[in-house]
Amino acid sequence: MTVLTRRTFAAAAVALPARKTLAANDRPGIALIGCGGRGLRVTKYCLALGNLVACSDVDSTHLAAGAALAPGAFAHKDFRRVLERKDVDIVINATPDHWHTLINIAALKAGKDVYSEKPLTLTIEEGRRLVNTARTTGRILQTGSQQRSDPRFRAAVELVRGGRIGQLNSVVVGLPKASWGGPFQAQPVPSELDWDFYQGQAPKRDYLPERTHFRYRHWYDYCSGPLTDWGCHHNDIMLWALGMDHSGPVSVQGVSHLDPVPGGYDVHSQFTVQYRFASGPPVTCVTMYTEQFGKTPLVVPSDMICGIKFAGTQATLRVDRGMIECSRPELLPEIPQVNSERAHIENFFECVRSRKEPLCPPEVGHRAASFGHLGSICLRLGGRPLRWDPDKERFIGDAEANRYVAREQRKPYSYEKL
């Protein structure tokens, strides 16, 4: 087991080193933290712009895969050892969701710029803390919501914000459903995995293969389910189009269409959640291919796809990865062919040099994650209506709901070590 002490955790994060200025031809040093499939994919794009000098993962098999991208790069299971290195300018954070904030804050305070996978946070409180840290350190943080760099989604946002499809009547966001299953039986911890470090701030649990790597997305210990997985991508675009990507809704209610299996995956896998803003159209998030199981959703879209549907008084617009269509095709601009992942990473590297705000800065990433957290909190409370203050970031008159705004962090993996 890896033990974090106050001295060792703080070593990488307590000071604010002077920022190194990069010349036009400099290749910044990159550290990859979280060497699973997503981390490897993002880093391969980064290698055109910088040098991988270090990597970290609590799974030695994944760590070896990260190190293989750059033979000779420093490799260590403990991310703190990576953050101590002076040759690291940029951190790519591709860990599971419950590790995003602690690593991002430590990296920012260690003088690194950060490209972080979405969702930025495990809780709403984490998001506000991260936004404040980015502001006080002056570091660049790009949220990995690459749809912001996709010409189709950008065209959809411009059409909606420009009033080209008329006044909005409704918005529907279609999401893939999460895995459903169980119960699962505890297994011996594999030798390559530091299970205690992997769990981090989450409650200590018996080891289940179903709790690790890609499947962590189906447990509330580590995430908020589909609403912060695919939901962070599509809801980010929806909030941008509505001009609400620095704010949030004022109410939320929902219904689960399928209860989790006791002892199995516990996120709500199939649901309909409806949000209202202080003004503007209602927004409904619904899982696609939802079985009803005798329960009636708030809204049943008759022609919905995975993606976003904006219904206006003059036209209906639908957008998803690889497609955009409008009931008035003449409104659609010519869409260039762009690799959105590469473009989003290039924007980050440009901002590392210019110190300008990236396309998806911390406040925007926080608000997209918060939108998903609100829906998941609602589902965990039975779907009952909740009122939300987007400025104070608190539920109104609901102590039970406010207990979900932050979560107790298992020591020693907590803010105290920062």
- pLDDT tens digits, one per residue of 235-259: 999 999 999 999 999 999 999 998 8
In 3D space, the residue among 79, 77, 131, 76 whose CA is nearest the CA of residue 101 turns out to be: 131
- Is 45:341 a contact under the CB 8 Å cutoff? yes
- Is 414:6 a contact under the CB 8 Å cutoff? no
In 3D space, the residue among 372, 360, 364, 363 whose CA is nearest the CA of residue 150 turns out to be: 360
Strand segments, DSSP code E, in 257-374 are 271-276, 283-287, 307-312, 316-320, 323-326
HSE, CB side, 13 Å, CA atoms: give it for residue 163: 1
Helix, strand, or coil (residue 362): helix
Q: Tell me the C-alpha distance between 167 and 316, whole Å.
A: 11
Q: Tell me the C-alpha distance between 297 and 277, whole Å.
A: 20
The fold adopted by the segment(s) 6-147 is: Rossmann fold (3.40.50)
Strand segments, DSSP code E, in 119-192 are 141-143, 168-175
151-333+364-398 has which CATH code?
3.30.360.10
Calculate the CA dihedral of residues 272, 278, 280, 282 and round it to 10 degrees.
10
Kindly state the helix (H) or strand (E) to which residue 163 belongs, with its residue range: none
Tell me what pLDDT residue 208 has.
Answer: 98
| CA distances in angstroms from 244 to 124, 157, 252, 278, 360, listed in the order given | 16, 12, 15, 10, 14
Sheet holding 307-312, edge to edge: 323-326, 316-320, 307-312, 168-175, 283-287, 271-276, 251-256, 386-389, 394-395
Q: Tell me the C-alpha distance between 315 and 54, whole Å.
A: 50
Evaluate whether 6-147 and 151-333+364-398 have a shared fold: no
- Is 81:101 a contact under the CB 8 Å cutoff? no
Counting as low any pLDDT under 70, the low residues of the chain are 1-21, 23-24, 289-305, 417-418
H-assigned helices in 47-96 = 60-67, 79-83
Q: Tell me the C-alpha distance between 119 and 230, whole Å.
A: 9
Tell me what pLDDT residue 305 has.
Answer: 65
Q: Tell me the C-alpha distance between 65 and 46, whole Å.
A: 16
Amino acid at 13: A
Q: Tell me the C-alpha distance between 100 and 92, whole Å.
A: 10
Domain ranges of the chain: 6-147, 151-333+364-398
